[in-house]
Amino acid sequence: MLNYKKIVAFVLIVFTLFSCRKDFERPNWDVDLLAPLIKTTLTLENLLPDSIVQTNPDTSIKLVYQTNIFDIDMDSLFKIPDTTITEVYIIPFNSVANPGATFYSNDEERTLNISNGVELNYAMVESGFIELEIFSEIKEKIIVTYTIPSATKNGDTLVLEEIIPAGTLTLDGYFKKMIDISGYELDLTGVSKSEINTLITRAEGTVDTNALGPVVITAGEKITYNNKLVDIVPFFVRGYFGTQQLHFGPETTTTTAFNQITSGTLDLEQVDVNIEFKNGIGVDAQLILNQFATVNTNTSTNAVLSHSSIGTPLNINRAQLTYTIPEVTYTSYNIAMNTSNSNIDQLIEIFPNEILYDINLNVNPIGNISGGNDFVYKKHSLETNLNVEFPLSLVANNLTLQDTVDFSISDQGESGSIIDGTLFLYASNGYPFDANIQLALYDENMNFLQNLTVNNQIQSASVDAALKVIGKKESVISIPLTEADVDNLYLAKNIMLSIAFTTTAQPQFIKIYEGYEIDIKMVGDFSYNASFK
């Protein structure tokens, strides 16, 4: 019994002592820990834009890339600038007009200042305004009816009827209004129906019906109209666009097809390129391609096209009206290039991010053969499109592709932290390429933290006699970590994988088939200091 009491007392003392330990006396010890960090599978669909990867009947891969280089549209041919049409009506003699009496009516033809010498006979307005100001020296309120007979919408003529304040000896009566003419059709042939760029306006002045009595209208008094066209955007126009000579370039347009290829060289077995000119404008055109080139601004390299089309006049027929939807039938002209008739492969192999062009365009090179029936819709242009297609049959040397994956090591705070360790990268390579891999750490805002040194190479997959992959190759790469590496691993939220491929069968061309992929898994083997409450 005495021994039992001694044991109980000892247990109570021990319990009391341990229950009174301070926080800094918590137990801690070092442990080894295996932690999976990232797992991803990379295919060409990951590394190149989805829209350009297609599969051939034999399951080999080809890249098809299409982009618009430039358009020649309505604004390229002409503009309707903001124009003020001023009309001044001067009272020719003294008269007396009763309330409600019309004391003058006046018609005018006004010519619009259309750019580039273009002669329009019809326009349909998509958007725009007429800013109308009226100044009156008549010493009584007048009713002005201002009509543009050549402007109609749904069959109704544009008519404005407004009361203009009476003028005084020192101040004219004044009125101002913005008129929305969106959707209006403009007949620009004048009174004779044979003019061009001509608007008809009509103004009538009537004494206010509420005037107290007859009004004396004095010779020399004026009524002034400022009719200003503002921000006129046509939807459709017709006329004669002249024999204009237009020049475009040297200019560049961007391309994103190869944005994720950062370095290395590529030799393509076959490239087929088509430069397509699609004409949606109702004019005949002669086009001269002075220069066509690609540029990689990241590597400061460029390649200039050598092909028989350079400097050769190309005749492009006018589009035709359909009087339905779509409104026009496009005509087209195509320049076909391949590795047999040009150096087009060199333009692709520099992985361009810009396309450079220099073009002359002669509009109506043989004159007004349409009899004033040239036309253009705002939404239909003369397009220049680039269509590129090449099978992925290639020789690659350090062809470097990039992809970014999410990454995070949670800060363990008081429960423990990583002391040091090694990252193990497991690669299952289904490509017939050897590959070098680089890992770059970035924070949540994609600010660069550091590169992780990777010394070993990922081995290429096994291939058969036709150089087609028959099985993946497993590689394991170890990456020892320093204390600074560990600190940045805690800060990192993204890892950028840069994979540099080199074909093992050089100089033979190797086809890439559907289903080729490389599996990447990274595991951390860490020494970990654990502490517990």
- Kindly report each contact of residues 365-372 with a partner whose C-beta sits within 8 Å and lies 24 or more positions away, as own/partner: 365/243, 365/284, 365/285, 365/286, 365/315, 366/284, 367/243, 368/240, 369/284, 370/240, 370/282, 370/283, 370/318, 372/119, 372/121, 372/196, 372/238, 372/239, 372/240
Per the CB < 8 A criterion, the answer to whether 470 and 463 are in contact is yes
Give the Cα separation of 249 and 292 in Å (integer): 10
**Average pLDDT of span 152-159:** 96
Candidates 248, 256, 245, 221; CA nearest to 89 is: 221
Question: Residue 505 — very low, low, confident or very high, per pLDDT cuts 50/70/90?
Answer: low
Question: Residue 383 — very low, low, confident or very high, per pLDDT cuts 50/70/90?
Answer: very high
The mean-pLDDT minimum among 254-258, 315-319, 394-398, 510-514 falls in 394-398
- CATH no. for 61-76+243-391: 2.60.120
At residue 413, the pLDDT reads 42
At residue 295, the pLDDT reads 96
More confident residue, 505 or 365: 365
Q: 3.40.50, 1.10.10, 1.10.260, 2.60.120: which CATH number matches 28-58+396-531?
A: 2.60.120
The architecture of the domain spanning 79-240 is Sandwich (2.60)
**Average pLDDT of span 293-312:** 95
Candidates 163, 61, 181; CA nearest to 123 is: 181
Which stretches does DSSP call E strand in 139-221? 142-153, 156-164, 173-180, 185-187, 198-207, 215-217
At residue 8, the pLDDT reads 39
Q: What is the DSSP code string of 14-81?
A: HHHHHHT--GGG--EEEEEEEEEEEEEEE-HHHHS-GGGEEE-TTSBEEEEEEEEEEEE-HHHH----
At residue 31, the pLDDT reads 45
Asked if pLDDT for residue 344 goes beyond 50, the answer is yes
Q: How many angstroms separate the Cα of 194 from the Cα of each of 119, 370, 372?
A: 11, 16, 11
Asked if pLDDT for residue 144 goes beyond 50, the answer is yes
**Average pLDDT of span 423-442:** 90
At residue 409, the pLDDT reads 78
Calculate the average pLDDT of the chain: 86
Give the Cα separation of 274 and 262 in Å (integer): 26
Question: Residue 56 — very low, low, confident or very high, per pLDDT cuts 50/70/90?
Answer: confident
Encoded amino acid at 163, one letter = I
The mean-pLDDT minimum among 32-36, 100-104, 221-225, 462-466 falls in 32-36
Asked if pLDDT for residue 10 goes beyond 60, the answer is no
> For the whole model, what pTM was predicted?
0.75
Asked if pLDDT for residue 407 goes beyond 80, the answer is yes
Asked if pLDDT for residue 265 goes beyond 80, the answer is no
Numbered ranges of CATH 2.60.120 in the chain = 28-58+396-531, 61-76+243-391, 79-240
At residue 2, the pLDDT reads 46
**Average pLDDT of span 185-202:** 94
The mean-pLDDT minimum among 34-48, 298-312, 475-489 falls in 34-48
At residue 18, the pLDDT reads 36
Location of structure tokens 């080729």: 516
* Residue 137, number of CB atoms within 10 A of its CB: 20
Asked if pLDDT for residue 25 goes beyond 90, the answer is no
Asked if pLDDT for residue 241 goes beyond 70, the answer is yes
Asked if pLDDT for residue 32 goes beyond 60, the answer is no
The mean-pLDDT minimum among 39-53, 63-77, 175-189 falls in 39-53
Question: Residue 5 — very low, low, confident or very high, per pLDDT cuts 50/70/90?
Answer: very low
Residue 322 host element (H or E):
none
Asked if pLDDT for residue 89 goes beyond 50, the answer is yes
**Average pLDDT of span 283-304:** 94
At residue 277, the pLDDT reads 95
The mean-pLDDT minimum among 119-123, 256-260, 337-341 falls in 256-260
Give the Cα separation of 61 and 52 in Å (integer): 10
**Average pLDDT of span 423-444:** 90
- Two tokens, residue 305: 């096209």
At residue 221, the pLDDT reads 94
Q: What is the pLDDT of residues 166-176, one digit of tens each?
A: 999 899 999 99
